[in-house]
Chain A
């Protein structure tokens, strides 16, 4: 009897924690939008009728997709190098990749303020080299937000991918080569499919991370480059429009689920073993 209950008892604390601090608050947030007197669809109609808010949604998706794609490419190349260098150098490179994660998001976004500002390092350098005559305004652009977010998420990508790439047996790659696969063929037909589980985990982490980001777009994008995270904050904390804020949250949850679902589908086509 006790034996049969043991697994349930062991799972109980974590289950209760998730239930109390995740499911209930998120559920009640979403429920808010359904309890509108004007009908559950009304807040969403309001959201999509507003050109500004639609733009914010599209911009958020666009920035997140670009950030994810860039992080995947840069992270993959870096992870490939990390997986193939000898032991000592590998530890140093892993530490270098993890190091930025030890500081806060705000600190790292501030670093980009210093880099990209009117009197920032990049502008000074370009002026000094005589490549430009007037400082460029690089802050508060989509590019600034993307650059900072890629910088933020690449370490995450490297960590998830390095392990996966190291786990691909060398003789499997040699087998492909011996059977006539070109280096690119080996990459496309063997490495990429076998790295797919890690790639999906990494891409989902990066996508959800950038889709829900708040500090980076706030600091480097400002009002001009408002994203869903900043819009949510503004609705809830500035205008006290709780229904509007809940609507934004609900849309974010739905978009995230849809994108994750699509990515998993894509992964399964490349590697049928991805669960």
Chain B
């Protein structure tokens, strides 16, 4: 049974501070959606609201056709995986996994059999009799995963599950989580502050800031076509250049920067360009040339990246970063121009 999760205009407060503002979110049946953002953005609050550890001050939460909004946490039937594993230290690995089944009134023999089968799936059969204290971090998180999966919940939620593991294990575990989630087709909500983790594991990612979702899209779209400057900065568009259109000539648009540098951009490449916009580019989206049409800059520190040289450039309206070819070594202090590489840049609405 796969169902969808829907949050409708949910607000939440801690005391008098509003931490979520009219948040709406829909996770389709069988989909894995990540909430990605820095600490304090409201991602964990969202997860706690769905889990039932917090009550929303407004809005509704639905899982399939069940209304969760006011349902006590223990009746929500959600599998949760915590950052600190949260295993029961006084129970053996098997009893940890069987805990949820016991609450559901499953008999001892059946729940032990199911727990054993689930431990087999996460490769921990040999550890069933052990106490959690005798396990490594990776093993603990596998037990936690097994414990959440064995109750066959319609929704799985992960709260920074890999943050306490070392880098190598993190990659293994996220493949494992994805494999088990896919195999069961369980709708999942995954909270993390790690962009690589979110992008690699998710069907879609919601980038959050200050209690709002800034953009909810597939990793590909987020990475290549951010919808606003916050998301653009988040996914590495270091250069955000404010521009104003001065002339329109069919598909071609001429726009100037605040400092007066003029660029000609094609709407066939960039899509419709509004009168005021932000040109967003990663360093490899701004090519450093000695002359030609572009944004005039003074070159600063040069770094060797292997595939290109990267230059810290200064302009009268701020610093920009661009990449230059290895064949052309330019010295700090020289004058140059930055030319947007069409496929690597995108047009964003101006910041409010």
- Interface residues, chain A, CB within 8 Å of chain B? 169, 171-172, 174-183, 185, 189-190, 193-194, 271-273
A189: chain B residues at CB < 8 Å are 99
A172: chain B residues at CB < 8 Å are 86-89
B86: chain A residues at CB < 8 Å are 169, 171-172, 174-175
Q: Does B74 contact A181, Cβ atoms closer than 8 Å? A: yes
A-B contact list, 15 entries, CB within 8 Å: A174-B51, A174-B53, A174-B86, A176-B99, A177-B52, A178-B76, A178-B80, A179-B147, A179-B151, A180-B77, A181-B74, A193-B90, A271-B90, A272-B90, A273-B89
A178: chain B residues at CB < 8 Å are 51, 73-74, 76, 78-80, 148
CA distance A182 to B86 in the complex (A): 17
Closest chain B residue to A271, Cβ basis: B90
A185: chain B residues at CB < 8 Å are 74, 103
A273-B90 CB under 8 A given contacts A178-B80, A181-B103 = yes
CA distance A103 to B336 in the complex (A): 83
Q: Does A180 contact B104, Cβ atoms closer than 8 Å? A: yes
Q: Does A175 contact B103, Cβ atoms closer than 8 Å? A: no
Q: Does A171 contact B73, Cβ atoms closer than 8 Å? A: no
Closest chain B residue to A174, Cβ basis: B53
Q: Is B264 an interface residue (CB 8 A)?
A: no
A25 to chain B, nearest CB (A): 40
A238 to chain B, nearest CB (A): 50
Q: Mark B80-97, 1 if CB is under 8 A from A, else 0.
A: 101110111110000000
A180-B103 CB under 8 A given contacts A171-B86, A190-B88, A272-B90 = yes
CA distance A190 to B82 in the complex (A): 17
- Interface residues, chain B, CB within 8 Å of chain A? 51-53, 73-80, 82-84, 86-90, 99-100, 103-104, 131, 144, 147-148, 151
CA distance A175 to B53 in the complex (A): 11
B144: chain A residues at CB < 8 Å are 175
CA distance A176 to B77 in the complex (A): 12
CA distance A194 to B100 in the complex (A): 18
Q: Please report whether the interface of chain A is mostly helix, strand, loop or mixed according to DSSP.
A: helix
Q: Does A194 contact B151, Cβ atoms closer than 8 Å? A: no
B75: chain A residues at CB < 8 Å are 180
A177-B90 CB under 8 A given contacts A169-B84, A171-B82 = no
A175: chain B residues at CB < 8 Å are 80, 82, 86-88, 144, 147
B169 to chain A, nearest CB (A): 20
CA distance A30 to B77 in the complex (A): 61
Contact of B90 among A179, A182, A194 (CB under 8 A): A194
Closest chain B residue to A181, Cβ basis: B103
Interface contacts beyond A175-B147, A176-B99: sample of 17 additional A-B pairs, CB < 8 Å, sorted by A: A169-B86, A172-B87, A174-B53, A174-B86, A175-B82, A175-B87, A176-B88, A177-B53, A178-B73, A178-B80, A180-B75, A180-B100, A181-B74, A190-B88, A193-B90, A272-B90, A273-B89
B139 to chain A, nearest CB (A): 17
B79: chain A residues at CB < 8 Å are 178
CA distance A271 to B51 in the complex (A): 28
B53: chain A residues at CB < 8 Å are 174, 177
Q: Does B151 contact A180, Cβ atoms closer than 8 Å? A: yes
B307 to chain A, nearest CB (A): 44
